[in-house]
Amino acid sequence: MEPAGLPCAVPVWNKQVSDRTQTRYYDHDNLNYFRKFRSRDVDYLSTSTTGEHAGSVSTPGRFFETFGVRGDDKTITVTTEGVLWDVRMPHGRSLLHAVGTLVEPYNAPETFSGVVTLDGVSTLYQNVPLSTFITDDMFFALLCRSAIG
């Protein structure tokens, strides 16, 4: 367990379990033009250094990086499909479950399409910014709730 660095009322500890695969595609000039990933990452958040009664945030899904200009990492558009976040309390109750497609172009604001369940209320969104349903402060507050129980 490592300190989580979250702005919670009490210290929170984090154990990260990362399970990812990645495939990169190159052209005949050895310029990277596409990457695809599969992610099954889970962060266990607890007020105990032993990880007892841990809440969690998981991100099972796929994401793709498409280059606007081959070989130029500054021109990558990231498309994520699946579960963006699944934030859960220590005994499994979901605080936030966001599933759908997030597109983050290198030259425009992000858009999300999918279903977000926040504290038991589900809402369908179509091509909206993430800030439509969650801010950084709200997300961190949910992570703290997950850890504290």
Q: Which letter does DSSP use for residue 53 in this model? A: T
Cross-strand pairs, 32: 26
Q: Which of 52-56, 84-88, 105-109, 130-134 has the lowest mean pLDDT?
A: 52-56
SS3 124: strand
Residues 4-57 have pLDDT tens digits of 999 999 999 999 999 999 999 999 999 999 999 999 999 999 999 887 888 999
pLDDT value, residue 95: 96
Q: In the block, which residue shows the tokens 């290198």?
A: 106
DSSP-derived secondary structure for 8-42: -SS--EEEEE--EEEEEEE-TT--EEEEEEEEEEE
Q: Model pTM greater than 0.85?
A: yes
Tell me the pLDDT tens digit for each residue of 69-91.
999 999 999 999 999 999 999 88
Identify the sign of the CA torsion 82, 35, 43, 8.
negative
Domain coordinates of the chain in residue numbers?
A: 2-148
